[in-house]
Amino acid sequence: MDKTLITSCILALVSGTPALAAEPTPSFETRAKEHCQKSLSIPSCNQVKPPGPFIKRCVEDAVLTGSFEFVETARKDYLRACQRLTPKPAPSKP
C-alpha cells in the first residue's frame, strides 16, 4: 500500500477528518472480460465464428477460479472451432 495513503488514513483516524479516497480498481470480472476479449480477438477467426460464447465461458472460468489460468484453453478451443469451419483448399494438381 502507498505510504501517502497509509499516512492519510492514520491522520484521518487521529483527527477525525475523512481520508483521501483510494483510486478505484477495476473488478476482477471486468479485468477478466478485457483479458478474454483481447485473447480471443483473432480477426481471421472472428470472421468465421463469432467469439461470444468462448469469451463468456472464458470469463466464467476466470471468475470461478479467480485466475486467468484457463484463458489459453479457451483460446485453443476457439481456434479449433474456427479450423473446423474453415474450408479446406482444393488439392493442387501436379
User: pLDDT of 62-82, one tens digit each?
Assistant: 999 999 988 999 999 999 999
* 85 Cβ contact list (under 8 Å, min separation 6): 48, 49
C-alpha cell read off for 12: 484521518
Predicted TM-score (pTM) of the model is 0.64
The rounded mean pLDDT for the chain is 81
What is the C-alpha separation between 9 and 22, in angstroms, rounded? Answer: 10
pLDDT at 25: 64
Is 50 in contact with 38 (CB distance < 8 Å)? no
Residue 71 CA to chain centroid, in angstroms?
A: 8
Is 67 in contact with 59 (CB distance < 8 Å)? no
